[in-house]
Structure 1
Amino acid sequence: MKDWLEIFKYDPIPPLIGSKNEAISYFTHRDLLNEKVEPIETLWQLSAAQKILRKQRADGSWKYPGKGKSQETNYDVFHTIKTLRLLVGLYQFNKMHPAIRKAVDSILSFQTAEGDIRGIYGIQYSPNYSSVAIENIIKAGFEEDPRVVKFLDWILSVRQDDGGWAIPLRTARISYKEAITKSKPIQPVKSRPSSHWVTDLVLRALTAHPNYLKSKEAREAGTLLLSRFFKPDKYSDRRDAEYWTKFSYPFFWGDLLSSLNSLSLIGFSKDEPQIKRGLDWFIDRQESNGLWHEKMLMFGNNEIAYLWLSLAVCRVFKRFYTTR
């Protein structure tokens, strides 16, 4: 078998390891080159990480920096979920840090008796963004927390019949404007097709948890994702096929790399035709400097964003080509 780096036309290691971003260089040494590094806590002291921590409020949340347009939307919990994702995804903060414990308690204070996290869509279910929250809460070391298990039990209970997930109000063909006026959450119409981008987000939460990673439900959701590669979504949110190749890192919305990352963790083979197609897309798109310069959402289109994207690409390729 070829070394995973030999798959690429250009060597991505030099620009990653030579990056002035200490976190990217750290993870390149540790994750790609299997070298011994300093304890992860050294990254927590970086100025960029400390800048994020300084904005945390006493209740563990982060204030939404913009102006909210909907009274029904809790923009602060949404922003807190996004901020936790940055701390966990870029610096691998975990529950040993008090700021993370406070953030997790803040987010999970919005957990309902059913198990979902409520407030982003008013009283309506949000399987997508709730899953982003739980994914990062698990990664921070809370996999055995009963609140996490409660959410995972709930998310499995609202699966569509085809093995994936969708936003329930979309499956019921009810507009968001109408849905947020309802007094009760709209139940999913499970006979309708799944949304692949919502499924991608839920699958990330499942694959983050050691007890759900190899589950039947995770594999079925992965199979559904594979059948949708490069196709339009079934619903109006992020419908265009072009969203497959618009990326965010740390992962947020669903995209090709996020999906491949989950599929590699579950144990799908690189020889699966659709996976090969996805991997080939990245091989073909590599720049001569060894990096990937693709459309980035949320992080901006700049060299640091491209470095993080390239690190994530390399992690996926290494996993597919060294563990199969």
Structure 2
Amino acid sequence: MTWLDCLRFDPLAPLLSSAHPAVRSWASRELLPGTAGLPSAPAGAPDEALWDLPIPRRILRRQAADGSWAYPGRRPRARMDYDLLETYRQLGFLVEMFGLTCRHPALAAAAGYVLSHQSAEGDLRGIYGNQVSPNYTAALIGLLSKAGYGDDPRVERAFSWLEASRQDDGGWALPFRTRGRNLDALEEPQTIPGDPAQPFSHLITGVVLRAYASHTRHRKSASAQKAAELLAGRLFEPDAYPDKGRVADWTEFSFPFWMTDLVSALDAISIISPGLRSEKTDQARDWLAAHQEPSGLFTGHLLRDRFHDLQLWFSLAVCRVFARMSS
């Protein structure tokens, strides 16, 4: 029995026949017999043909000389680094969709810009002003790890900071939230220290785990295994903090992953601990299987995407989860 036998309809046909060459490339490399279950393509063998597609070329034309991308909207919070936020967004498209790596000069420039925001403590600061952000620190170094910067000492410093910033229960949370502060804390010039005795946030822990999953060594750590178990036990539950306080937030999806949802959580869990099964992970897989269309693609509350092909990418992400968790 293979992972395809868990589904009512064949999802490979629409992915492999898609008009989107990047979707076809990832599906053929990761989901065909003999490749299913691999967490990603080998780091040293990117499909460089994808780098010259119209969408990545359009993104790269807007990159600034310092390696960043300019945020296109309003900037209501004076202390927030909106360009770092936009750089994170564009790196997600380039790395997760089109597989750009450190071998591309634009990625090298972007990595330099991102890592210039590293504090003396090791976290990446700016998106939340001077407040500590384990989620954005992890999200950024996770993308850099996927792009081939996993051995960079600055990335290693960021992982060391993440290790030291866990809550006592083994997960992560926003420090200012553990002190009962709201988003007005982002305007504070002084960094608000966290209370490690407060419970973990599944929103923050799910994002941090994506960084651990992206790193071939850190994904095997005891802290990653512990946090994967914590996250698996929180599926379909409201967060301990108000940022993702609705159960419905688990079934609002995006790609590249942004918040923590069922698919992003299972994606990280299935890499870090592929044998981890529980009543809640089975419930999550059943929910996803029930939302497969006769076309073979998966559906759900798909948040608006910039390139209008989110269902293909979402379906590819769901298939990766089924492939890993059934291997």
Written as runs of structure 1 = structure 2, the 5 A alignment for 1:1-324 is 2-33=1-32, 40-177=47-184, 179-269=185-275, 271-299=277-305, 302=308, 304-322=309-327
CA distance in 2, matches of 1:27, 1:59: 30
Tell me the matched-pair count.
319
The residue type equivalent to 2:322 in the other structure is: F
Question: How far off is 1:273 after superposition?
Answer: 2.2
The aligned amino acid for 1:158 is S
Note closer, same or farther for the CA distance 1:65–1:183 as it changes in structure 2 (3 Å cut): closer
Contact 2:207/2:260 (<8 A) preserved: yes
Stretches of structure 2 lacking an aligned partner (at least 5 in a row): 36-40
Shift of 1:39: 5.7
TM-score (norm 2): 0.94
User: For the structure 1 residues 39 and 198, does the alpha-carbon distance in structure 2 shift closer, same or farther, using more than 3 Å as the test?
Assistant: closer
1:285 CA displacement: 1.2
Q: How far apart in 2 are the matches of 1:270 and 1:190?
A: 26
The 3 A distance-change label for structure 1 pair 80 and 300 is closer
- Check whether the contact 2:46–2:100 (CA below 8 A) recurs between aligned residues: no
Moved more, 35-44 or 126-135: 35-44
Task: Give unpaired runs (5+ residues) of structure 1.
Answer: none
| Separation in 2, partners of 1:194, 1:35 | 38
What whole-Å deviation, never above 9, does each CA across 1:229-265 have from its counterpart, x for those lacking one? 1011111112111111111111111111111111111
The runs of 4+ residues in structure 1 deviating greater than 4 Å are 34-39
Q: TM-score, normalised by structure 1?
A: 0.94
Q: CA RMSD in A?
A: 1.8
Q: Which moved more, 1:53-62 or 1:293-302?
A: 293-302
Are the aligned partners of 1:197 and 1:233 in contact in 2 as well (CA < 8 Å)?
yes
| Secondary structure at 2:232 match in 1 | helix
CA drift of 1:270 comes to 5.8
Alpha-carbon separation, structure 2, partners of 1:222 and 1:85: 22
Query: Displacement of 1:182 after TM fit?
Result: 3.4
Look up the equivalent residue of 2:27 and give its one-letter code: T
Q: Displacement, 1:195?
A: 0.7
SS in 2 for 1:293: coil
1:67–1:273 CA distance, 2 compared to 1 (3 A): same
Is the 1:295–1:301 contact (alpha carbons within 8 Å) kept by the matching residues of 2? no
